[in-house]
Amino acid sequence: MDFFLIINILGVVAFSISGVLSSMKKKMDPLGILIIAFVASVGGGTLRDLLIDAPVEWMRDLIYVHVVIVTTIFAIIFRKKLVHLRKSIFLFDTIGIGLYTVIGVEKGLSAEFSPIICIAIGTITACFGGVLRDILCNEIPLLFKTKEIYAIACILGGGTYFLLQYFQLSQELIFIVSGSVVIITRSLAVYFDIRLPSVYINSDE
């Protein structure tokens, strides 16, 4: 099993668990929980593959479907353990976007896109599954909340990926550092309550 596949599977696991936890908060039945977990884990990758005109990965390699199913069953069985983790949805969601950002960037490079497009692809891969998860759970997507540094963290991670290319580091180390930048950036932003300014129109004016 190569390193890229391992990172991909870890991303699927992280987003599947975040999907299970989100759907259980809404008191969904097992089928609903599985659907939300599936959408959360492969939604971003599906949009990415469609945009770059590549075969949809989970449709040609059933290992991702199997991972979602097994992870969902595991998360349901051990749900009482998972809910004791402080802000567990945030934890698994943050890990997921970190892993999926570098996966998306790598996919963009394989398709021979420019760095800025690769970073955009990485951000889409990381964010879109979570957006679908939140919409289906009748929540405002985290991507659109001013209190969440979400896409910005992915962009910084993608930029780090290309910056590290100049230092001739191993691909594995570049993956780990770039993904960690996403995770650390978002975690610090939430911990220190760093947020982007909101833009609005005052209807009274």
Within-domain flag for 198: no
Lowest mean pLDDT among 14-18, 110-114, 143-147: 143-147
Within-domain flag for 81: yes
Position 203 confidence tier, pLDDT thresholds 50, 70, 90: low
Three-state SS string across the chain, please? CCHHHHHHHHHHHHHHHHHHHHHHHCCCCHHHHHHHHHHHHHHHHHHHHHHCCCCCHHHHCCHHHHHHHHHHHHHHHCHHHHCCCCCHHHHHHHHHHHHHHHHHHHHHHHCCCCHHHHHHHHHHHHHHHHHHHHHHCCCCCHHHCCCCCCHHHHHHHHHHHHHHHCCCCCHHHHHHHHHHHHHHHHHHHHHCCCCCCCCCCCCCC
Q: What is the pLDDT of residue 143?
A: 81
Position 1 confidence tier, pLDDT thresholds 50, 70, 90: low
Tens of pLDDT, residues 53-69? 999 999 999 999 999 99
Tens of pLDDT, residues 152-188? 999 999 999 999 998 989 999 999 999 999 999 999 9
Q: What residues have CB less than 8 Å from 90, skipping those under 6 apart? A: 190
Within-domain flag for 196: no
For the chain, percent of residues with pLDDT exceeding 90: 74
Domain that holds residue 24: 3-191
Within-domain flag for 44: yes
Cα dihedral 139→142→146→147 (10° resolution) = 100
Position 82 confidence tier, pLDDT thresholds 50, 70, 90: confident
Q: What is the pLDDT of residue 204?
A: 57
Q: Give the number of other Cβ atoms within 10 Å of residue 7's Cβ.
A: 20
Position 194 confidence tier, pLDDT thresholds 50, 70, 90: confident
Q: Which two tokens stand for residue 30?
A: 């097992």
Domain count, the chain: 1
Mean pLDDT, residues 127-146 taken together: 89
Within-domain flag for 111: yes
pTM: 0.91
Within-domain flag for 197: no
